[in-house]
Structure 1
């Protein structure tokens, strides 16, 4: 039997992503992408009244002389009437780039009037221009986006009817123990554009929703906070169901690969890859304990993070649901004792930074709940371990041997910040602040690679690239937004905050594809990787508030951005290095999961990033 790999000769269908170079004027030397006509690229969702507000303009090989105008589109003035111009500014040269050639910036950060607008260019060189996408300027912009992203989780519910979307699904999911006893594994969230229920991803979602709820409670928005906590509780109760106390772990359900087969030639797949129907039509996921443990090896850092998210959720819902809160805390305590007394597995050692970070979060949450010094002492010990893994340049190491560099924002920085919140005058405050300063200054140059200010990527050879190659990028960019906004809070630094804002704005349309990657906000790619496309009434694939995996960069070679295991290939065929790739050619469904799929981690980190940017704007009194 053949093993299916990415080989064009094995394809059932092939769809190639085409390079966009057809344009209104000659391209600059080395330019790899262009617009068909001159159009300002904006953040489709809009801008915060007090935040950074910029648009990007591409001039190809030429120069532009003229200005830009902001038009109030709510006045409904049509030619020959004069439009309502509310702002006029000069285009500022940014420099030359492989995206768009000569780049210009239209900066209107000093314009602070709420409303609905678009940008119009007035330049001498051409009349082949178009207005920008229509956008809003409003207060609490980032908080509203976080709430929108939070609502997406409701549509992902499993085991229950979601009115207007699907009927009750997977109502017999279970894990069978050695003695034949069944653990009820119904409920939880569908993890992504498929119907898998991955607890590792889910813990990110619960933590992010709880973080948003904390902010909403701080701002007196208890009704909104309750709604967010109710959604987190849906997943939290699933965690409690699948908690297996004997091993102090959380069990995973999935569909056996034996149930599905591509053809007589190719081996079977689990249905998460190829099932294209509504979720209620999919068979139940019933696995044995042995299968669950073998398929999804249990690490200590997984246990820690799921338990930390449960503890945080339990702390916040204690005023509303004491019984559930106590259940969350009880599980978190059991897991803490197990994790801190166990020898790390090989996977924990390879991801040692994640292990110590997530266990720190667990300890800090238990300290907040119980006030017990033993949890704080352990957290302090682990915080010192995190600090020891930072290089003098600012990045961290993933393993104790300091062989694997890790410069992304992840839970190690979240853990340091949470410790600061718990011990604002503790002995480690200065060291933690210095760690944030070094990390932020290491990342800052990576945000200057293009006029869009997205944080770039350092590959295995140490080469700097504009885009993530073959990697879901939006969750990392949103995490950078959290880290840089946190640095802005700690040091009251406006520059860090602006970089943080740009990461969120990139996701929402201020990018070289001029595409919003939050469904239902702005102009999306037109196609989505979600099985809901096959539900009547949702053929367009738009699941409101869902954040897509994001743009990836070409590498000059041939690779598939779709699920090649199905044999339906969506291919980057020798597109230039850093050519921005997202599927915009299909309508409704696409196999291109790498760029166009929804995922719990995307929404979780988007919520984290948008929430922290909102905090930073408030802290800096901007």
Structure 2
């Protein structure tokens, strides 16, 4: 479709402001005008031709930059083309409101996802799936996704290097967002801070109830009924060699002996972020909690001691890898910030060194992380987390050589992201990445690949790109290179723009805002309705072409797609990273 694509919610006055024209090959595009609501020209510019993108079948592209204009108001764009004048939908430019508004929307989404009613009643006395005996009071927490009424600290443990951070990380981010606002004393954020403290505390209380007798945490509340029937809820387990997510029985079910570790968290499968969340909660008293700040801190310290010594017993391969280290680094950094106890700083320093040792130079000033030897790190949800963890640690490390090296390593990692992103036609500035194929080749891609260790699990990238926006904005605050800082700010804004509508499908991924929201359908039913303020999985590569593109909004019999969860389902990591990215932006 021929159209001008924008951030449908709008732009801040001091933001990088760009739009994309989606036309057809052979067309010409020339001058553009930013028009105010009365039809007067506010700004003039010229479109820049970019061309086609990979094997996308969505059009031919030009970009329009109007960053030089910052007067608040409502505007639209006009572009002169060989096919006539193309006009955008109206959008707002505001002084300092759009980001606050979007974070507020996602915060309300989380409140709507709280486990209440019959599910709360069932979660107050949960049995275990399988042979393990006992009952757990695990009430609280947020429904994981619009199609999954379970609650998970993480999943995909069988994949070794694909664990996403879920419920505990969400609780952690609410506290970190509050600290970002408090750092700058944003006058428009006082009520939002209250809402975020409310959600963070709600999440911390849930984590407290999910403590296991061992010293770890229970990983998941699962539902054996797809429609979330309250009487089917259990404390679930994961096999270490395969997944039963897409079949009734995991491939290795007959080969594995399930014991207590299958039910509980390693650092990478939620344990590290559970500890980080509790340590952060200990700094933020909020009335109405079931626990005191000191109880949060004691629990975090006990869990740290146990998992630091026993983490290898809980991983599927008996090893630490990059994911364990960045989750543990968050935990140790938050414990040190809350206690000032030197041993946590020493352990955090060790973890930062281990993470940097996993970096491999990809150029003179660029480097990538290795998940484990020989395997470049890429991640469907948390690709920015290694950088965020390192710079969170840098915030508590005294001035000196290590702090300098940590900042330099984070900068090199983000230079690599910028380089890979800019190496091909990429009018949207969409974050690209490197991964290793089954043939041991290193290739670069737009969207998370179908044959990852988590296969057949794959889905849209909105959490991944929001995490990289967070990493870009926290890094931009640490570099003295003004051009790099500008490039990082612009890169981060491009990821948020994509989520909020500046993408080839002109679809705002946040339900209830913008236009062309993506609804979740399940065969001939629409039971799994998306919630206002939540963010759906988003756009992927084409199932039959890794270099293609697809957003499924309705059944596609030709591709045997009768359930669009990979695209249309909401998932809490998307909202979590969206909040964290914008909070870090506000802290600059």
Range into which the TM-score falls when normalised by the shorter chain: 0.7 to 0.9
1:611 aligns with 2:583: yes
Q: Is the 8 A contact 2:17 2:67 kept in 1?
A: yes
**Cα distance 1:364–1:438, how it changes in 2: closer, same or farther (>3 A)?**
same
Aligned partners of 2:468, 2:522: CA distance in 1, in Å? 26
Query: 2:474: which partner in 1?
Result: 486
- 1:414 maps to which of 382, 388, 403: 388
Query: 1:23: which partner in 2?
Result: none
Query: 1:171: which partner in 2?
Result: 121
Alignment of 1:407-486 (within 5 A): 407=378, 409-448=383-422, 449=424, 450-459=426-435, 460=437, 461-470=441-450, 471=458, 472-486=460-474
Other structure's SS at 1:579 match? strand
- Deviation string for 1:498-523 (max 9, x for gaps)? 11110111111111122111112211
- 2:564 maps to which of 586, 592, 599: 592
- 1:92 maps to which of 48, 53, 56: 48
Query: 1:47: which partner in 2?
Result: 11
Other structure's SS at 1:344 match? helix
Calculate the TM-score normalised by the size of structure 2. Answer: 0.80
Calculate the TM-score normalised by the size of structure 1. Answer: 0.76
**Cα distance 1:52–1:350, how it changes in 2: closer, same or farther (>3 A)?**
farther
**Cα distance 1:117–1:288, how it changes in 2: closer, same or farther (>3 A)?**
closer
**Cα distance 1:295–1:175, how it changes in 2: closer, same or farther (>3 A)?**
farther
**Cα distance 1:71–1:429, how it changes in 2: closer, same or farther (>3 A)?**
same
Alignment of 1:358-437 (within 5 A): 358-393=327-362, 394-399=367-372, 402-407=373-378, 409-437=383-411
**Cα distance 1:457–1:436, how it changes in 2: closer, same or farther (>3 A)?**
closer
Other structure's SS at 2:395 match? helix
**Cα distance 1:503–1:109, how it changes in 2: closer, same or farther (>3 A)?**
same
Q: Is the 8 A contact 1:348 1:355 kept in 2?
A: no
- 1:501 maps to which of 483, 493, 497: 493
Aligned partners of 1:381, 1:66: CA distance in 2, in Å? 55
1:197 aligns with 2:151: yes
1:213 aligns with 2:181: no
Aligned partners of 2:335, 2:207: CA distance in 1, in Å? 17
Query: 1:137: which partner in 2?
Result: 93
CA-CA distance at 1:56 after TM superposition: 1.0
Alignment of 1:107-256 (within 5 A): 107-123=65-81, 125-127=82-84, 130-140=86-96, 141-160=98-117, 168-173=118-123, 174-176=125-127, 182-193=135-146, 194-200=148-154, 201-220=166-185, 221-250=189-218, 252-255=220-223
Query: 1:567: which partner in 2?
Result: none
CA-CA distance at 1:425 after TM superposition: 1.2
Aligned partners of 1:70, 1:217: CA distance in 2, in Å? 35
Other structure's SS at 1:585 match? coil
Aligned partners of 1:577, 1:522: CA distance in 2, in Å? 28
Of 224-233 and 59-68, more deviation after overlay is shown by: 59-68
CA-CA distance at 1:592 after TM superposition: 0.7
Aligned partners of 1:590, 1:613: CA distance in 2, in Å? 39
- 1:582 maps to which of 541, 551, 556: 551
- Deviation string for 1:405-431 (max 9, x for gaps)? 115534322221112111251431211
**Cα distance 1:581–1:291, how it changes in 2: closer, same or farther (>3 A)?**
same
Aligned partners of 1:323, 1:577: CA distance in 2, in Å? 48
- Unaligned stretches of 5+ in structure 2? 155-165, 238-256, 451-457
Q: Is the 8 A contact 1:395 1:407 kept in 2?
A: no
CA-CA distance at 1:473 after TM superposition: 0.8
Alignment of 1:275-424 (within 5 A): 275=227, 282-286=230-234, 293=260, 296-301=263-268, 302-317=270-285, 323-342=291-310, 344-345=312-313, 346-347=315-316, 352-393=321-362, 394-399=367-372, 402-407=373-378, 409-424=383-398
- Unaligned stretches of 5+ in structure 1? 1-34, 76-82, 161-167, 256-269, 558-575
Aligned partners of 1:447, 1:285: CA distance in 2, in Å? 43
**Cα distance 1:137–1:530, how it changes in 2: closer, same or farther (>3 A)?**
farther
Aligned partners of 2:547, 2:32: CA distance in 1, in Å? 29
Other structure's SS at 1:604 match? helix
Return the index of the structure with the highest Cα Rg.
1
